[in-house]
């Protein structure tokens, strides 16, 4: 049974990455463009250039989109994880210690989900894998063939 589960791991990880990236990007789109109810549920947006909300929304939209596509997954997830750690400790944690008390569950979960992707990479279905395969195939094709030494 564990052999079957292990063989499915890249696909489960790829689906996890896609869902987390999509949901994270939706938060950014809501804050920047007022879609999906916006930041306050009535279509409000983050004021352009306002620290830290506007910058967080840009990181959410761009980072989430890159994670969703599996393009530069580790770097995008690292920056996204850091942004969510900052959000938790600067916005939520001063209100109360525990995420259930300070409404910081989302920030904490995104922080740890993105942190996991830093170490696991994109899994299946990611553009990272597609480009890695192409690069390896091109390297193999352009590698000069070794000549066997001629006997004297």
Q: What digits encode the pLDDT tens for the residues 4-32?
A: 889 999 999 999 999 999 999 999 999 99
Q: What would the mean pLDDT of 50-71 be, rounded to a whole number?
A: 96
Q: What is the pLDDT of residue 87?
A: 96
CA dist., res. 122 & res. 37, Å (int): 29
Would you say residue 149 has pLDDT above 70? no
Pairwise pLDDT comparison (37 vs 13), residue with the higher score: 13
Q: What would the mean pLDDT of 134-138 be, rounded to a whole number?
A: 72
Mean pLDDT, the chain, rounded, equals 89
Query: Are residues 61 and 32 in contact, defined by beta-carbon separation less than 8 angstroms?
Result: yes
Would you say residue 64 has pLDDT above 70? yes
Query: What are the residues whose beta carbons fall under 8 Å from the beta carbon of 10, sequence distance 6 or more?
Result: 123, 124
Angle formed at CA 62 by CA 53 and CA 101, multiple of 5 degrees: 45
Is pTM beyond 0.75? Reply is yes
What percent of the chain has pLDDT above 70? 93
Q: What is the pLDDT of residue 12?
A: 96
The band of 92, judged by pLDDT with boundaries at 50, 70 and 90, is: very high
Question: CA 113 → CA 86, 88, 136, distances in Å?
Answer: 15, 14, 29
Condensed to tens digits (0 to 9), the pLDDT of residues 97-107 reads 999 999 999 99
Q: What is the pLDDT of residue 13?
A: 96
Q: What is the pLDDT of residue 151?
A: 54
Q: What is the pLDDT of residue 11?
A: 95
């Amino acid at each position: 049974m564990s052999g079957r589960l292990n063989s499915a791991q890249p696909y489960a990880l790829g689906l996890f990455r896609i869902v987390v990236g999509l949901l994270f990007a939706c938060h950014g789109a809501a804050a920047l463009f007022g879609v999906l109810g916006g930041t306050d549920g009535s279509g409000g947006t983050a004021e352009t250039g306002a620290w830290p909300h506007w910058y967080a929304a840009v990181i959410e939209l761009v980072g989430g989109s890159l994670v969703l596509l599996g393009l530069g997954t580790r770097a995008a997830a690292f920056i996204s994880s850091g942004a969510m750690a900052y959000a938790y400790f600067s916005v939520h944690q001063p209100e109360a210690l525990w995420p259930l008390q300070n409404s910081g569950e989302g920030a904490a979960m995104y922080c740890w989900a993105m942190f996991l992707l830093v170490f696991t990479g994109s899994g299946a279905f990611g553009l990272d894998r597609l480009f890695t395969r192409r690069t390896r195939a091109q390297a193999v094709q352009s590698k000069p063939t070794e000549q066997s030494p001629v006997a004297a």
